[in-house]
Amino acid sequence: MRRNNVRAAAEPLLFIMPCILVLGAFVYYPLVQNLAFSFFRFSAFSPEKVFVGFGNYANLFLDKTVGTALRNNARYAVISVLCQVCFGLVLAAILEDRSFRRVGQLFRTTFFLPVVISISVICLLFGFIYRPMDGLLNGFLELVGLGSLARPWLGSSKTAIFATIAVSQWQSTGYVMMLFIVAIQKIPEELYEAAEIDGASKLRRFFVITLPQVREMFFVTSVITVTGSVMVFNEPYILTQGGGPGTSSITIAVHMYQSGFFKDMMGYASTLAVLIFGISAALAVLQLRSFRTGEE
Amino acid sequence: MSKRIQALLAVLVIATSIAAAQGAKTTIRFFHRWPLEPRKSYFDALVAEFERRNPDIEIEMDSVINDAYKEKIRVLVSSNDIPDVFCSWSDSFAYNLVKSGRIKPLNDLLARDKAFAASFIQSQVKPFTFDGKVYGMPQTIDGKVFAYNKAIFAKAGITKEPKDFDELLATFATLKKKGYPTPIIEGLADPWTISHYLGTMFQRYLSPAVTAKDYNEATGEFTDPGYRVVLERFQKIVDFMGPNATSITHTDARALFAAGKLPVIYIQLAEFGLIRKSNPDIQYGYFNFPAFKDGKGDPGLLTGAPEGFMLSSTSKNPEAAERFFKFIYEKQNAAQFVKAVGAPVAVIGAMTPDNSFPELIGAVELINGVEGSAPWFDNAVNIKIADAFMRGAQAVATKDKTIDQVMAEVQAAAKIVRSEAKK
């Protein structure tokens, strides 16, 4: 009898054990180890580690690049939420509208296509578009009589970060749009029919039916977008050679990578990793609390 | 036993034998930094030829470009996942790898094979030698010079090469006046291009005692006012590079020069082959970085250092790795490298009039004729300091930082480096 009870108690544990082991080995153990590393100063080439206490954390406040990087991440987050989440929702609503049903599929595929292209390829492509002397963008601006707006997009500290952010928007808006399309398709058709009978315009139907019905998805996409913005790495790393000119387009993930693998400050890089973890966890909790509806 | 089972067993035995035969092959991991042409094809062919001659050895080749290579090889060395044979810059870059204790000293190999040891230009082995031990052998030799388009100079009425820095600026000013709004473009989007300028200019302007003290990790402070002067003078060159100075890569700048659209470029001798490939007809001359009238350093030195290959001390197949290592430097392979790539090499006798071209032969004469060589700045100092200078000078070029701010960041980086060196 007792053996059966023990077995009954152990069975669920056995089922979740693989998950616990994998998570433990690949998520929680590295997380704890990274936290421990952040209190040391060490080189990747040497097994010696020097305990520096909170020295690396104090350096975070003295390091001006951290401020620049966080400001750039904040720009990423704000622009990404506006473009990907808000504009993605509008795109989804338009493509799901009855009058767009015939061409919707074509546009859906077109907008989603950048998502399946490798970010490295996209960055190379935009590298050509942004080229100052023979790039497509400056060429187009000159063609339409806006030559005065042509500039070295990636070579100027004023535009490099925004040119980099624009690439992310081009790639990811289609993905968020697709998530909203799925959410919109789940809204009962009767709601729209009832509103139509009551004489509600398309705009009003969007605000009183679509928007409230997709708020769960709005929350999910916001979390994905904002946490993605904190961890953005590829675009500045490839497009502006690691956040240039100077450090004008650097992000916190690029700064972490360069501190660790370029400047060989592994302890400080671990501290930056802790900062990234702290920010993304805090943002996720904040969004979880403010958007929680309990419906799904 | 039925026939079917017998046949099945026979198939299994054959399959196992094939697998065993394949398993008997020794695998060597080879990692380099040239995924682009023309070197990619050269190394592909080199590996294929080696495998043909050594059927018992299989080479697993991998490559990533330049800055990514610097980072990846550091990661591989630090994680003990070091390739058997891999390329490396000399001087401090090599020394950092050597400090890991995972790079094989080559003294035994050189003592065993005296002919191999004697096949190199000996001065080019020194930058791979630390504490009396040789850790790498040079493949390419290099130097940095100003290359100029002869036709454009003639059109602008410039008849002589500048002999000092003021004359260099005057040359740029003349070109600008004669219809070339950007007389020089370097490709400052690549931060390493800045380090090539600054390294040479520091060497020319500062006293050797200052650079010796500051380039030493344990004593470097970078407080000499000369660094500020050099940054100011570098900005004078940048002013001639136009508004796109920091948005063009060095590859693009080289393409502009090869196309005859750019009057002057500061370029490595190893790039001459690439210019020739793009435009075999271009006529260009070149000169060493001119002296500063008020400089305290030796203006006769040429900035540049050899690049070569190293062996892992943790290799599971050291004999096979060594065989491939030596194969890279065989005279006919080095000669083929010169022909395919158009870069000068450190293997004696590999360059002949048949496999090179006048500019390349001139380049080797220049290297052999100068009083000595100065290392690349980003290899001469700790990377934290080099990065502070490179990023800082880039930010000064875009008017985002002042020279004082940059020097403050450099001094802060030097403080960290000193504290690490003293631990």
pLDDT tens-digit map of B258-272: 999 999 999 999 899
DSSP 3-state assignment of B287? strand
**DSSP characters over B8-33:** HHHHHHHHHHHHHHHHTSEEEEEEES
Tell me the domain boundaries of chain B.
15-141+306-361, 144-303+382-422
DSSP 3-state assignment of A191? helix
Q: What is the ipTM for the molecules in this complex?
A: 0.79
Class of the CATH domain delimited by A38-291: mainly alpha
Average pLDDT, chain B: 90
Q: Which residues of A touch B248 (CB under 8 A)?
A: 132-133, 155
What's the token pair of residue B180? Answer: 């070339």
User: Mutating which of A264, A266, A268, A270 best tests the B interface, going by the most B Cβ atoms within 10 A?
Assistant: A264
Using the predicted structure, report yes or no on whether residue B335 has a pLDDT greater than 90: yes
pTM: 0.81
Identify the bridge partners of residue B87 per DSSP, sorted by sequence position.
B309
Axis crossing angle, helix A119-129 with helix A160-185, rounded to the nearest 10: 130
Angstrom CA distances, B114 to B55, B108, B111, B117, B322, stand at 27, 10, 6, 5, 15
- B100 has a chain A CB within 8 A of its CB: yes
CA distance A146 to B92: 49
Cβ atoms of B264 and B172 within 8 Å: the answer is: yes
CA distance B152 to A175: 52
Which pLDDT value is given to residue B8? 62
**Residue-wise pLDDT tens digits, A103-160:** 888 999 999 999 999 999 999 999 999 998 889 999 999 999 998 999 999 989 899 9
Across the interface, whether the CB atoms of A241 and B246 are under 8 A apart is answered no
**Residue-wise pLDDT tens digits, B100-129:** 889 999 999 999 999 999 999 888 898 899
**Residue-wise pLDDT tens digits, A34-44:** 999 999 998 87
Using the predicted structure, report yes or no on whether residue B228 has a pLDDT greater than 60: yes
Which pLDDT value is given to residue A294? 47
Q: Do domains B15-141+306-361 and B144-303+382-422 have the same CATH topology?
A: yes
Alpha-carbon gap: B99 to the closest alpha carbon of chain A (Å): 7
Across the interface, whether the CB atoms of B420 and A242 are under 8 A apart is answered no
Which pLDDT value is given to residue A80? 96
Residues of A with CB under 8 A from a CB of B: 41, 43-46, 48, 50, 130-133, 151-157, 240-242, 244-248, 258, 261-265
Which pLDDT value is given to residue B270? 87
Average pLDDT, chain A: 90
What pLDDT band is residue B50 in, cutting at 50, 70 and 90?
very high
Tell me the domain boundaries of chain A.
38-291
Which pLDDT value is given to residue B15? 58
CB-closest option in A50, A245, A258 to B398: A245
CATH tag, B15-141+306-361 = 3.40.190.10
CA distance B24 to A200: 77
Q: Which residues of A touch B67 (CB under 8 A)?
A: 241-242
Q: H or E stretch including B88?
A: strand B85-89
**Residue-wise pLDDT tens digits, A262-292:** 888 899 999 999 999 999 899 888 877 876 6
Q: Which residues of B touch A264 (CB under 8 A)?
A: 74, 96, 383-384
Instruction: Tell me which of 3.40.50.2300, 3.40.190.10, 3.90.45.10, 3.40.50.850 is the CATH number of domain B144-303+382-422.
Output: 3.40.190.10
